[in-house]
Amino acid sequence: MKKLLKRLVIDSASKFLYIALYNDLECLGKYYAEGNNDHSVKLMSEIERIFVSNNIKVKDLDEIIIGIGPGSYTGLRIGVVVAKMFAWNNKIPVRTVSSLAMFASSSSFNGLILSEIDARRGNSFLGLYRKTGKTLVLEDEEKLSNLENYKESIKESFEVVSKGEPNIEVLLNSDILTQVKDIHGLNPNYLRITEAERNLS
Amino acid sequence: MIILSVESSCDETSVSIIRDGINVLSNIVLSQIDIHKAYGGVVPEIASREHIKGITMVFEKALNIANIKKDEIDLVAVTKGPGLIGSLLIGVNAAKAFAFSNDIDIVGVHHIAGHIYANALTKDLVFPLICLVVSGGHTELILMKEHFDFRKLGETMDDAVGEAYDKVARTVGLGYPGGPLVDELAFTGEPNYKMPDISLGKTYNFSFSGIKSHVINLVHNIKQRNEEINIPDLCASFQETVSEVLVTKSIRAIEEYDAKMFMIAGGVAANKGLRKKIDERINNVEVIVPEFKYCTDNAAMIGVAGYYQYLKTKKTDNMRLNGSSRIDLV
Ligand SMILES: [Zn+2]
């Protein structure tokens, strides 16, 4: 019999926090809620709750899937640092995925999906995906832009998604996951340099 | 008892492993100082990004150098604040993830308690004691009657002493971080410039914004007159006035509370001018100063503080432990 894979999926790139423990496609426990600047309190305490209720330890994980942004929200780093520590501590394989793709996967819409994470000051992190059945394909490079301006550039009908629980089946079925080869090198995707660096150059 | 400790409150990513609060098995400090130099100060967002880059590597090095196994660790201690929130959250969450993965208890430790306890690596503490905490963010006189019992006698009403040093350094065009450069130049000059009275009378509180403004105005006026500033003399004058007020108030606290020991803590504890004045003026009690390597931010000091905090309170934190940019020691 094929061994079932235990996967921990985390995304903390936006104000929504998503944590789920899967046994293949079966969800053993999850947490999904809009946070109030408290990902740092919720992430580890909810992981503990889910793991304890399933009698699972970090070392039992077969894989971690981590949303790595884009984002600028401090919360983004909290998910990534926990995934990084778990993976390093127990030599667990990690695959990264765009947090925008995670949102896009949550939609039941078939066609173009514009995934959005607020980046403040009138800007958003944007990813244009095409969903066909259970497959997601990135249509245009992810960018930091004004949502309304970007919408005007899209010539087809589309759906805007800025929250939602990822669909693990869609994520696993699409060519959007990237294997982390060196765990020390796992970092969030900020998509832009800091203001200080911009001002310096 | 073996403690693994984590410190990331500003621009140093540090992990240490320490036995029984005294035996430092490893103390890895990844400093970002060269990165922030270009900006003339610590840029919080860059600091956070650097912390997450280096964090697992620093853990790995600390474990390798200490040459212990994870299951030998009894407790994880981590700085919970005060500090830069984005930076703190990397250390706190890394420490929680490590503790959870390895089934180890965790305690959050106050950053200043860490600076104070860096002294316990030099010598056993004897109570009551007076500790002068001086850093870029703090200037406080603390009374301790026993382990992990802090009473704040006074603090700065405005700028921290380290802040004032850095501002003076910037005003006369020295680099970043400027405090140590002012200290160095002070030794080559004479305190010939008149400085304002910053004693604030009989209180244990401090104020450094007045002398800071005075230096800025003085430099401005000298430049207006097209005269040369004697930078070593200016540094010497500033350093003399500041260290004098720090030491005078410390002596008064030592006498009032019959202290058996006096110590200094924090980044400015590395200041040679301050150390010299303490040496000259404080002779009737035992004086300890932290080793230079434990003056700046490091995880070893958090491990020592965590050790005494746990011995005293027997309390541990849970997975809801959070970082906090502002949090009082007492
Ligand atoms: Zn410090």
Three-class secondary structure of residue B186 per DSSP: helix
Is it the case that residue A72 has pLDDT exceeding 80? no
Q: Distance between CA atoms of B253 and B205, rounded to whole angstroms?
A: 11
Instruction: For each of the domains in chain A, give its residue range(s) and CATH number, in order of start.
Output: 6-99+165-194 (3.30.420.40), 101-161 (3.30.420.200)
As beta bridge partners, residue B154 has B141
User: What are the chain B neighbours of A47 within 8 Å (beta carbons)?
Assistant: 100, 319
- Provide the whole-model pTM: 0.95
Please, which pLDDT band fits residue B194 given cuts at 50, 70 and 90?
very high
Instruction: Check CB contact under 8 Å for A188 and B55.
Output: no
Interface with B, mutate which of A58, A88, A197 (most B CBs under 10 A): A88
Percent of chain B with pLDDT over 90: 94
Averaged pLDDT, A33-45: 96
The answer to whether residues A136 and A167 touch, using CB atoms and an 8 Å cutoff, is no
- The helix/strand/coil state of A48 is helix
CA of A32 to the centre of ligand 1 (A): 36
Return phi, psi of residue A171, to 5°: -60, -45
Q: What three-state secondary structure class fits B3?
A: strand
Question: ∠B2-B7-B12 over CA atoms, to 5°?
Answer: 135
In the numeric block, the tokens 């990844």 are attached to B30
- Position A1 scores a pLDDT of 60
Q: CA-nearest residue of chain B to A193?
A: B46
In angstroms, what is the span from residue B75 Cα to ligand 1's centroid?
22
* Separation CA A163–CA A13 (nearest Å): 11
Question: How far are the Cα atoms of A102, A131, A160, A163 from residue A108, in angstroms, in the given order?
Answer: 13, 9, 12, 13
Cα(B206) to centroid of ligand 1, in Å? 19
Task: Identify the residue among A84, A120, A182, A195 best suited for mutation to test binding to B, counting B beta carbons within 10 A and taking the highest.
Answer: A84
* Distance in angstroms (rounded) separating the CA atoms of residues B188 and A38: 51
CA of B41 relative to ligand 1 center, distance in Å: 15
Residue of B99, B15, B13 whose CA lies nearest to B302: B15
Cβ-defined contact of B319 to A74 (cutoff 8 Å): no
Instruction: Determine the Cα–Cα distance for residues B320 and B300; give it in Å rounded to an integer.
Output: 24
Q: Which of A47, A85, A190 sits opposite B56 (nearest CB)?
A: A85
DSSP at B284: S
For chain B, the straight-line distance linking the first and the last C-alpha, in angstroms and rounded, comes to: 26
Closest by Cα among B317, B330, B239 to B79 = B317
B76 CA: distance to closest CA in chain A (Å)? 14
Q: What's the gap in Å between the CA of A8 and the closest CA on chain B? A: 13
* Token pair in block for residue A77: 């780093």
Instruction: Work out the number of other CB atoms within 10 angstroms of the CB of residue B316.
Output: 15
Select the residue from A21, A31, A44 to test the B interface by mutation, using most B Cβ atoms within 10 A.
A44
List of residues 6+ apart from B221 with CB closer than 8 A: none
pLDDT of residue A94: 98
Count of all residues that appear for chain A in the document: 201
- Encode pLDDT of B113-135 as tens digits: 999 999 999 999 999 999 999 99
Is pLDDT of B218 > 70? yes
Q: What is the pLDDT of residue B330?
A: 76
**Mean pLDDT across B304-311:** 98
- Chain B: nearest CA to A197, how far in angstroms? 9
Q: Give the pLDDT confidence of B83-104 residue by residue, as tens digits.
A: 999 999 999 999 999 999 999 9
Averaged pLDDT of chain B: 96
Percentage of chain B exceeding pLDDT 70 = 100
Distance CA A155, CA B170 (A): 54
Share of chain A above pLDDT 90, in %: 92
Mean pLDDT value of segment A96-104: 98
Strands (E) in chain A, as ranges, are 6-11, 16-23, 26-34, 63-67, 94-97, 111-118, 124-132, 135-145, 158-161, 178-179
- B12-19 and B23-31 beta bridge pairing: antiparallel
d(CA A109, CA B107): 47
Those residues whose C-beta lies under 8 Å from the C-beta of residue B328, and which sit 6 or more positions away, are: none
C-alpha dist (Å) from residue B22 to B17, B128, B308: 10, 20, 11
B134 C-alpha to center of ligand 1: Å? 9
Pick from A41, A81, A188: CB nearest B94: A81
**What's the topology of domain B124-289?**
Nucleotidyltransferase; domain 5 (3.30.420)
Q: Which helix (H) or strand (E) holds B34?
A: helix B33-37
CATH class label, B2-117+294-313: alpha beta
Cβ contact (<8 Å) for B89 and A74?
yes
Chain A CB contacts of B49 below 8 Å? 187, 190, 194
CA distance B283 to B30: 37
Average pLDDT over residues B187-195: 96
Separation in Å, CA of A38 to nearest CA in chain B: 9
Report CA(B300)–ligand 1 centroid distance (Å).
12
Assess whether pLDDT exceeds 90 at residue A38. Answer: yes
- Do β-strands A94-97 and A63-67 pair in parallel, antiparallel, or remain unpaired? parallel
> Where are the domain boundaries for CATH 3.30.420.40 in chain B?
2-117+294-313, 124-289
pLDDT digits (tens, 9 = 90+) for A144-162: 999 999 999 999 999 999 9
Q: Which of B152, B149, B150 is nearest to B141 (CA)?
A: B152
Residues 6+ apart with CB under 8 A from A197: B46
3-state DSSP percent of chain B in helix, strand and coil, to 5: 45, 20, 35
Using CB atoms, pick whichever of A38, A85, A190 lies closest to residue B97: A85
- Best probe of the A interface among B11, B52, B80, by most A CBs < 10 A, is B52
Residues with CB under 5 A from ligand 1 (ion): B 297
Distance A201 CA to ligand 1 centre (A): 30
pLDDT tier for residue B40 given thresholds of 50, 70 and 90:
confident
Q: How far away is chain B from the Cα of A108, in angstroms, using its nearest Cα?
A: 34
Average pLDDT over residues A78-100: 98
Of A81, A89, A188, nearest to B101 by CB-CB distance is A89
User: Looking at CA atoms only, how far is residue A50 from chain B in angstroms?
Assistant: 13
Among partner residues B43, B45, B97, which is closest to A82 by beta-carbon distance?
B97
ipTM of the shown complex: 0.97
Instruction: Note whether B139 and B326 are within 8 A (CB).
Output: no
Task: Evaluate if residue B41 carries a pLDDT over 90.
Answer: no
Question: Left (φ > 0), alpha (ψ -120 to 50) or beta: where does B319 sit?
Answer: alpha
